[in-house]
Structure 1
């Protein structure tokens, strides 16, 4: 695909330049037009066998022209689905703007709700900060008192080290390569859509680091890692606080990239953000469905954090 931008998107994840990086150019674009005007678009990752979410991608489509009546939405969704590549396995996370999920059920998809957390209006940062609970405010003060500063990073070295440290304490290996993370960051920088912020102390120790992906609508807390040695420093809380300040200068909303893990959900919620529901749609073979049912149960049995 050509490395360009398109206006027919719900988020930065649906831009051609981002999809080129995370899919290795393995994606297709489906459009529905009416009288020469695009009224529906779906960017579909397809590796020749299955349609599934690429790494570091929260949601993908469907983009619908604003203001379409429900009956028209249903028709456009049906037409987009009919044009999907032939495959026995589909699993896609829809953007939160896709509230009308019934057509997918009627078209044979399983539909599962998921939750992210957001500040939907960053226009008054002081009002945002007032929503922080006492633990968040305490951790911010603690980090500041310990001399922790938030700096802008120009490469992924500190970030990747923090990602590896985060997974190492769980006896796991970070699943994505440094090259992929670097490519995402470089492409985002080239398009004015990415920034890395890192928490360091006066001795040069790195406490935490995060990569943010953004456009004028939403800034996403895309990737984050922290050194377990400095877990009590409050640095990660301070980093998020400063990232929300930054987000208010470039986007209208801030998305924490919500988690289904209870501890992470609790951490995010303490900032006073609002839950936002989005939907996963899937359609798989019988054996694929059985695998999806058994996979989380097996993970729980072996103590894998979900």
Structure 2
């Protein structure tokens, strides 16, 4: 009953708080849980007058009879989100505020045999979690700020990338589509080069896509060559502040054509109509990381937080820290 009330209050809170990130939105969590066959709950921290000041959504599922909490595939960031009431706090005040919130949230979590989440990059103080027995691994994404300033953003690109876009951009055509199956096929081709099998089905993706369409938060763009062949596709989602490169696919036969880079530059310019920030959702795979680095974004750390009752399962969780299940 208490969890039902928590979720009810959180849903109301989400409707009036424009700062809440996309990946913490209840409708997004609903879609992920439905696609993954799990459920979700939320721990809330409140001010003295009862207002929500922080939230920690988490998923619940059973594997081999064990109660676990793992973020579903395409879950991106989750973890603790804090609604700061002041912009210019002293650092000591800010850290104390964070610590008190974490101490308030921790007792609300169920006992999981294993819990693992990719925390939002805005959460940068996991000290209380460490003292509570959690493990942490630092991963990185790349982020572009002030994307409305196209000239400045483009100037920050690696020189050979700028030259390629200028030289080759006109040889491709770019357009938006609502055909999810077409995007899925080009996305699947990219996975065939990486580790052989895409980790989500078209049906799984369709459930997320339906939720994103209903909330006006997704864009699919394709780039074609002179022969009208689709050579790359980007699936972009956004909230009120940031656009995210949720999925990107390239035909392996065109990996060196610069089509994906040309497409992303087009996407960044398009998204600048709505937001000021673009998150590449970078990878720790060296080649993918270098690809995103060429766009000149800031390297942004984020924490993968985990805890296990079994040390061997905990070791496995850390080895696969960046993967969602």
- Scaled by the length of structure 2, the TM-score of the pair is 0.84
Residue 22 of structure 2 corresponds to residue 17 of structure 1: no
Question: What does 1:142-291 correspond to in 2, within 5 Å?
Answer: 142-146=167-171, 148-170=172-194, 172-284=196-308, 285-291=310-316
* Alignment-derived partner of residue 3 in structure 2: none
- Residue 53 of structure 1 and its aligned partner are, at CA, apart by 1.4
Q: CA separation of 1:131/1:203 partners in 2, compared to 1, >3 Å: closer, same or farther?
A: same
Aligned counterparts of 2:249 and 2:98: Cα–Cα separation in 1: 39
Distance 1:85 1:122 in 2: 41
CA distance in 1, matches of 2:195, 2:144: 33
2:83 to 65, 79, 86: 65
Distance (Å, rounded) in 2 between the aligned partners of 1:240 and 1:126: 15
CA–CA separation in structure 2 for the residues paired with 1:209 and 1:227: 9
Equivalent-residue separation in structure 1 for 2:20 and 2:240 (angstroms): 11
Partner Cα separation in structure 1 for residue 97 and residue 143 of structure 2: 29
Whole-angstrom CA distance in 1 between matches of 2:220 and 2:121: 25
Of 45, 49, 52 in structure 1, the residue corresponding to residue 59 of structure 2 is 45
What is the count of residue pairs matched by the alignment? 295
* C-alpha separation in 2, matches of 1:103 and 1:145: 53
Q: Is the 8 A contact 1:214 1:220 kept in 2?
A: yes
Residue 106 of structure 1 and its aligned partner are, at CA, apart by 1.1
Cα displacement (A) at 1:44: 0.9
Deviation at 1:150, TM superposition (A): 1.1
Aligned equivalents of 1:82 and 1:8: distance in 2? 28
Q: For residue 101 of structure 2, give the secondary structure of its aligned residue in structure 1.
A: helix
Residues of 1 paired with 2:319 and 2:148: CA distance?
Answer: 44
Separation in structure 2 between the aligned mates of residue 189 and residue 217 of structure 1, nearest angstrom: 18
- Aligned match of 2:74: 56
Question: SS of the residue aligned with 2:272?
Answer: helix
* 3-state secondary structure, aligned to 2:31: helix
Query: For residues 63 and 142 of structure 1, do their structure 2 counterparts lie closer, same or farther at Cα, with a shift above 3 Å needed?
Result: same
Counterparts of 1:138 and 1:145 in 2: how far apart (Å)?
A: 12
Q: Which runs of 5+ in 2 are unaligned?
A: 1-6, 87-92
Partner of 1:302: none
Relative to structure 1, is the Cα distance of residues 295 and 31 closer, same or farther in structure 2, using a 3 angstrom cutoff?
Answer: closer
What RMSD in Å do the two structures reach over aligned CA positions?
Answer: 2.1
Q: Deviations over 1:43-71 (max 9, x none)?
A: 11111421111111221031212137322
Q: Return the alpha-carbon distance in structure 1 between the equivalents of residues 18 and 152 of structure 2.
A: 32
| Aligned residues of 1:78 and 1:107 also touching (Cα < 8 A) | no
**Separation in structure 2 between the aligned mates of residue 9 and residue 95 of structure 1, nearest angstrom:** 13
Higher mean C-alpha displacement, 27-36 vs 4-13: 4-13
Q: 1:177-232: CA deviations, max 9, x gaps?
A: 10122222221121111100111123220000110010111100000111112223
> For residues 158 and 128 of structure 2, what CA distance do their matches in structure 1 show?
40
The structural deviation recorded for 1:123 is: 3.1
- Is there any run of 5+ residues in structure 1 with no aligned partner, and where? 297-306
